[in-house]
Amino acid sequence: MPKLKTKSGAKKRFKVTATGKVMHAQRGKRHGMIKRTKKQIRQLRGIRVLFKTDGDNVKKYFLPNA
């Protein structure tokens, strides 16, 4: 069997913590900031934890070596 490769797009978007949780940046902050209200921009700061089932899928299919 060949080795499983990590999806390069997922490598840039997700980070697996030491306890196995999957962290992700919030959507909606890449471009178009001029349209968003100051409150929206403020609330989109930081990173979040994916739900357990979504995180398990990300680890299984996109980050097999994490």
- pTM of whole model > 0.75? yes
7-59 pLDDT, tens per residue? 999 999 999 999 999 999 999 999 999 999 999 999 999 999 999 999 999 99
CA distance 24 to 27: 9
For 25, the 3-state DSSP assignment is strand
Mean pLDDT in residue range 58-63: 95
Decide if 56 contacts 20 (C-beta within 8 A).
no
